[in-house]
Amino acid sequence: MMMDSPELRRFGLLRAVRRSLAVTLTLGLTLLLPVSAASAHDVLTGTVPSNGQTVKVLPKAIELSFNNMPLAIGTEVAIEDTAGKNWASGEVKIVDNVVSQPLLPATPGGKYTVNWRVVSSDGHPIEGTFVFIAAAGGAGATSALTPASEPAADSVAEPQAPASGAFPVSPLIGSFVVLLALVLALIVVRYLRRRKQSHGSE
């Protein structure tokens, strides 16, 4: 019968540690990879005007805020009236994490749909749509709203929340490290207990 030598016990411990680490790492990567992919894309955090808002005067530019600075290449913003005409003027401007699209000076008041497409900082395109109403247009423009439909004051809309599925990965990483430490601690305790029992039986 093979002797239970210290070398064999150390070899068994190392083998158990390697096996437990492999299982733990595989489990951790399985849990973390989908979350990392989902949270990699940038998300829209707010717009000016906000979605569904009615403003007294049409702003000179439409602004979209993101959680990270998007890329300029491939970024487009169209500001269309109810007839489908695009009143955007020139190219978009990006300052930090804010995308700004100017409007034509003679843009009339009315209901507008903003269709935006932005290339996020990770290189993946994201897009969306929101609407707003302007009671009065820009300089030299006439209002497209009838007097009966003009609001008395601005309505306040809630800021757009980030897309679901985008949340910090750091808590999961911390949980994974704690799990790994617990697995290693259990292996060491089990090894020390078996070694103590082995010495007691000698």
Q: Are residues 72 and 120 in the same domain?
A: yes
Decide if 2 is inside a domain. Answer: no
pLDDT, tens digit, 9 for 90 and up, residues 109-126: 999 999 999 998 888 999
Cα–Cα distance, 144 to 137 (Å, whole number): 8
Q: Are residues 80 and 21 in the same domain?
A: no
Contacts of 146 (CB under 8 A, 6+ apart): none
Cα–Cα distance, 108 to 58 (Å, whole number): 8
Decide if 3 is inside a domain. Answer: no
Structural domain of 144? 44-149
3-state secondary structure 7-38: HHHHHHHHHHHHHHHHHHHHHHHHHHHHHHHH
Checking if the pLDDT of 7 tops 60, the result is yes
What is the predicted pLDDT for the residue at 58? Answer: 94
Checking if the pLDDT of 85 tops 90, the result is yes
Q: Are residues 30 and 51 in the same domain?
A: no
Q: Are residues 123 and 173 in the same domain?
A: no
The pTM assigned to this predicted structure is 0.53
pLDDT-derived band at 182 (thresholds 50, 70, 90) equals: confident
